[in-house]
Amino acid sequence: MSLSPAESHTDVTNWETKAHGTHAFPAACYLTELPGHRFKAHWHTELEFITVVNGQIQLYAGARQFLLSEGMGAFLNTNVLHTAELAEHCRHALLHHTVFHPRLIGGYEGSIFWEKYLDPLMTDAECSVRIFRPESDWQQKILALHSNVWKSIAQDAHGYEMTARNDLTQILFALTDHQEKNTTKEILPPARKLLKNQARMKDILQYIHEHYFETITLEDLAFAGDTSKSGCLRCFKESLGTTPLQYVKRYRLQTAANLLRDTDWQISEIGSRCGFEEMGYFSAQFRQMYGATPSEYRRT
């Protein structure tokens, strides 16, 4: 299978459309370096494990924030909105991800493996995110198993399909065995609130991705999420660690970068299509984010 490129492709709801692995073996591993890779907030039906190989990151997942240091890891359940960035004062981080469809372990929906183990885990909002620390014996075992999975897939080792499936099965069994124990030190908000915030964020992000080229106000975003302006601000802070309008600006700049790379449109047209009325402001903000002006970025 070998290492897959860590590129995220999403639709307007931030659902990741990229296939992980193949239909025959629905699993893939990724290597992510920060800075360098820009995480888009996204969600997918697959399960995901992350290990911080070195550095420190801030993980935003399931309307919560987690500081992950070297050697720590995380489990992201199905349909959990998530993103990550370098932690404050950290200059570099390296992450290992493994993303896989639950049918790799459970087979078909309705099987004993699916009904007894997978479904109770995937439908438990309290288990939307689990954090692993090497100080805990059972969590260290999960971290070691994930390391084996990642290496076997990345190196295309002989029989990696069997060994990876076996190790992932052991990880999920350990998770279900400790499902009722909250071993994270963070205080978890009620499950109903988590689900409501996630649904609200998906609605707001969909609105942004469909209207980013228009004038967008905080009132517009609050209305899209069926919440107040303060509720909208709180949702973004908890889920993505930023403000709604900062996210809008960043999304516009990311879209502009893609258009600079993939089209021959004039820079002024790209700026206008991405919601920037003043080209001087567009160029300055682009340079602040990418370290180059739009024209310099296009030439690289």
What is the domain-level CATH number for residue 242? 1.10.10.60
- 34 with 163, same domain: the answer is yes
Domain that holds residue 117: 27-177
Residue 8 lies in a domain: no
Per-residue pLDDT at 183: 45
Strands 73-76 and 27-34: unpaired
User: At 274, which amino acid appears?
Assistant: C
Least confident range from 20-29, 175-184, 209-218: namely 175-184
- Same structural domain for residues 169 and 33? yes
Residues 57 and 166 both lie in one domain = yes
User: Across residues 208-236, what is the average pLDDT?
Assistant: 93
Same domain, 124 and 235: no
Residues 161 and 126 in one domain: yes
Q: Do 82 and 109 share a structural domain?
A: yes
Domain tally, the chain: 2
Asked if the structure places residue 10 within a domain, the reply is: no
Least confident of 92-96, 98-102, 140-144, 177-181: 177-181
pLDDT in tens, 66-81: 999 999 999 999 988 8
In a domain, 138, yes or no: yes
- Per-residue HEC secondary structure of the chain comes to CCCECCCCCECCCCEECCCCCCCCCCEEEEEEEECCCCCCCEECCCEEEEEEEECEEEEEECCEEEEEECCCEEEECCCCCEEEEECCCCCCEEEEEEEECCHHHHCCCCCHHHHHHHHHHHCCHHHCEEEECCCCHHHHHHHHHHHHHHHHHHCCCCCHHHHHHHHHHHHHHHHHHCCCCCCCCCCCCCHHHHHHHHHHHHHHHHHHHHHCCCCCCHHHHHHHCCCCHHHHHHHHHHHHCCCHHHHHHHHHHHHHHHHHHHCCCCHHHHHHHCCCCCHHHHHHHHHHHHCCCHHHHHHC
Q: What is the pTM of this model?
A: 0.73
* 196 assigned to some structural domain: yes
CATH number for position 51:
2.60.120.280
Name the domain boundary from 115, 148, 177: 177
* pLDDT tier at 245, thresholds 50, 70, 90: very high
143 assigned to some structural domain: yes
- Region 16-30: mean pLDDT is 87
Tokens of 185: 């030190």
Please, are residues 128 and 80 in contact by the beta-carbon 8 Å criterion? Answer: yes
1 in any annotated domain: no
Task: Examine the domain organization and report whether 195 and 63 are in the same domain.
Answer: no
Residue with tokens 């359940």: 77
For residue 186, pLDDT over 60 is answered with no
Q: Is residue 36 part of a domain?
A: yes
Average pLDDT for 281-288: 94
**Residues 154 and 32 grouped into a single domain:** yes
pLDDT band at 184 (very low <50, low <70, confident <90, very high): very low
Clarify whether residues 36 and 73 are in a common domain.
yes
Q: Looking at 153, 177, 201, which one is the last position of a domain?
A: 177
Q: Are residues 90 and 134 in the same domain?
A: yes
Claim to verify: residue 77 and residue 131 sit in the same structural domain: yes
CA dihedral for 140, 145, 149, 151, sign (positive or negative) = positive
* Banded model confidence at residue 158, pLDDT cuts 50, 70, 90: very high
Are 272 and 133 in the same domain? no
The closest of 224, 232, 275, 223 to 254, measured between CA atoms, is 275
At 263, give phi and psi (nearest 5°).
-130, 170
